[in-house]
Structure 1
Amino acid sequence: MQFLFWQNMLSIHQSALISALADDHKVLLVAEHTMDADRIGTGWSVPDMGKALVIISPSEEEADKILDDYRDAVHVFSGINAYPLIYRQFKRACKQGCFILNYLETYKYLGFSGRLRCLKYTLLRLRYGRYIKGILATGNTAVQAYQAAGYHKDRIFDWGYFTEIPVTECHNFSGKNKEVSSLPDIVYVGRLDHRKRILSLVQTLKKMTGFFNKLYVIGSGPLKNELNALINSENFRSNGELSIEYCGTMENKQVQSFIANCDILVLPSVYDGWGAVVNEALIQGTPVVCSEDCGASTLLKDKWRGETFSWKKKTTCTMFSKSNCFMGKCVMSCASVSIHGHSIIFPEKKPPHILLKL
């Protein structure tokens, strides 16, 4: 079987899936560009796509020939009309009757602006829905969003983004930092912007003195200076030491080691199409406290993996403090053994069955 992936850039969130498929099938990946400077600036590196053939920045004529040559392949498009090259080839694939899957992230469909977004996807469904064989929706929130736009539930698959098992060795999960403090060390990894709610996270944790030892913030973004000012102005100190530390950006291997050494990863986004850092934490055996508005929250159905919370509720701070993760009830030794079989959908590099059966 042949697979043709159309992406705006080489996605580290799809590399594990693509390389797994390429072990047993012919896989071609076409991307508009390798990776944007913003991603590289936050510590991303170009992913290894395994045995897949990768083509970067083809001309329109080259892209047309690729589609014609692979007309009988399974075409997997990242989005529908978000990127020029992908949208152009998506429309051509529809006209040629190709087998089409769309890899789609969630969108907020509630409220006035949400209804407008829902209308947009409803119009796309009316125009192209009959050509789409399946929607690979990133998490349960995305499943609900595309059902709201009228896509039939049988065409929507509860999907996600998948990450490789890190090269770095996992640490002794049952003894993380306990020689230093009985309170949990927390880590946040991501962009410092309003969508990620990093400032709200810091302000919330300020009210939770006595529930955690230290918060480490890894990443960069437009709120970097404001974050540092907030930390300093609020005087986040415990026994004379800062209880919140900004660590800047790091290479991915360093980030993985940091996650493995901390007790909890927090992802407080008000919206996140997925949140691959959740995968990375679970692989390391580190439980996660995650906003329900992140696609990856679907991975936290088992309590020993972590918990979700909602920014919509006024009791967010109370929910944080009463979380099983903060109360020390997540069984770390259990997580370190069990998560490896569940946080990746193909634990032995076997591609997801649904791609082969559609």
Structure 2
Amino acid sequence: MQKSYDLVFWQNTPSLHQAPLMRALTSGLGKRVLVVAAGDVSAARLAMGWEGIDYGPADLVIKPSSSQIEALVENNRGATAHIFSGVSSYPGMRRAMNALTRGGHRHIAIITEPWDPRGLAGKLRALKFAFRGKSWHHVDTLFACGVLARKQFASLGCELEKIAPFGYFVDPPARSDNGPRVGKPSIMFIGTLTERKDPRTLIQALALTPPESWDLTMVGDGPLRKVMLDDVLELNLSHRVSFVHRMANNKVRDALAACDLLVLPSQYDGWGAVVSEALMAGTPVIVSNTCGSSDFVASNLQGEIVRFGRPGEIAQALHERLRTSPVTDEARSILRNWANEAISPRAAAEYLWKTVTREKDVPTFPAPWTESI
């Protein structure tokens, strides 16, 4: 293992959704990257298809001891940047942050999603983040995933000049041409069937669209599965809705490249990487305004943003999409080209490197997805 690195990432676990960025930084930009993870991939994540996470040439250390963390910090004080995943990180990661700030270092950055602001628990989370975010002077860049995250951390006193838009960036699908699409336009929902993901609102919206206008495939499982099956029967949608218990990630990517629209109606989603996957495949999206990935939807090219919990708004967005669906090869190609320029791992890697190597006290730069629409 190398003794010094350009970038050191401190994470709670290896991430399927951050692996493309690591590969772009190493194989694409030639940077020396170390990833330190507090723990291994959980059984729940493995059940969701997180097998075989590939960080490319990046070095990976999992479950380091306290002494190993201290040594990794001391050996890499000269790294261009240390980048921590989350403000409220795991104890080992906090130990690394504390050790780093006690001595010499160059650039410290944090990548963070917003916290879930719903209900009393949301208020308590805000208090926790306010307490842990008092020492913003140690942080040179806060990579905030989505509009909500930028607003939340600015409200806690993080200087606007330090906040940089960020997200999760995925590779293009292995296949972008799945042949001609026939029959009715197809919608996909991909995610756990939980209240937070709010898939029942999508079913209610589908009932408000003209009969025989769409087919919907719901990929995922969860506690709402039975009640959703009942909803489909009650609304007489059995011929329009199919359920898939589980699908491997590569199969999901192929399915997204073949469908006409992805819908993510979540009440709250820190990001929602499936939106990134759809856009990279050239498939437009309908996404709720409480998903971090709605940051990628800034024009009709990418899709529509709706308020969560509003089946009528989703139905209206579906109706608008009917006018141009199925998605034409030309429209899909235009969207893919935009995605490759603006939200690909390579674009994100170049943006991250430019941001962490800027001069002190220089404000962060516009993100590529905000410049290229």
TM-score (normalised: structure 2) = 0.85
Worse-superposed segment, 248-257 or 209-218? 209-218
Q: Which of residues 73, 81, 87 in structure 1 aligns to 2:88?
A: 81
Gaps of 5+ in 2: 360-373
- The Cα of 1:312 is off from its aligned counterpart by 5.9
Q: Find the aligned partners of 1:348 and 1:196 in 2 and give their Cα distance.
A: 26
Task: Quote the residue 1:131 is aligned against.
Answer: 138
Find the residue that maps to 1:195 and give its secondary structure: coil
Root-mean-square deviation (Å):
2.4
Cα distance in 2 for partners of 1:333, 1:52 equals 32
- Aligned equivalents of 2:348 and 2:130: distance in 1? 38
Classify the secondary structure of the residue corresponding to 1:328. coil
Write the distance in 1 (CA, Å) between the matches of 2:213 and 2:251.
22
Q: Which amino acid aligns with 1:104?
A: T
Residues 91-130 of structure 1: matches in 2 within 5 Å?
A: 91-98=98-105, 99-109=107-117, 114-126=122-134, 128-130=135-137
1:216 is matched with: 217
Residues 11-46 of structure 1: per-residue CA shift (max 9 Å, x gap): 122112222222322211011223111111122223
* Residue identity in the other structure for 2:279: L
Map 1:188-267 → 2, pairs under 5 A: 188-210=189-211, 212-237=213-238, 242-267=239-264
The Cα of 1:65 is off from its aligned counterpart by: 1.3
Q: Structure 1 length normalisation: TM-score?
A: 0.88
Q: In structure 1, which of residues 10, 13, 20 is the aligned counterpart of residue 17 of structure 2?
A: 13
The answer to whether the 8 Å contact 2:84/2:109 transfers is yes
Contact kept, 8 Å, 1:216 with 1:245, in 2: the verdict is: yes
Displacement, 1:208? 1.9
Contact residue 187 and residue 261 of structure 2 kept, 8 A: yes
The answer to whether the 8 Å contact 2:201/2:309 transfers is no
Shift of 1:309: 0.3
Change (3 A) 1:232 1:318: closer
Please, which of 294, 306, 313 is the counterpart of residue 309 of structure 1? 306
State yes or no: 1:283 paired with 2:290: no
Is 2:172 the partner of 1:169? no
Separation of aligned partners in 1, 2:20 and 2:314: 36
Against the structure 1 CA distance between its residues 82 and 202, is the aligned structure 2 distance closer, same or farther, given a 3 Å change threshold?
farther
CA distance in 1, matches of 2:338, 2:247: 28
Aligned length: 346
Find the aligned partners of 2:119 and 2:230 in 1 and give their Cα distance.
33
| 3-state secondary structure, aligned to 1:250 | coil
Q: Is the 8 A contact 2:187 2:260 kept in 1?
A: yes
Q: Percent identity?
A: 29
User: What is the Cα deviation at residue 131 of structure 1?
Assistant: 0.8
Alpha-carbon distance, 1:206 to partner: 2.0
Alpha carbons of 1:348 and 1:196: their partners in 2 closer, same or farther (altered >3 Å)?
closer
Point out the structure with the larger strand share.
1
Shift in CA distance, 110/252, structure 1 to aligned 2, threshold 3 Å:
closer
Residue 236 of structure 1: CA displacement?
A: 1.1
Which whole-Å CA distance do the structure 1 matches of 2:310 and 2:280 have between them? 30
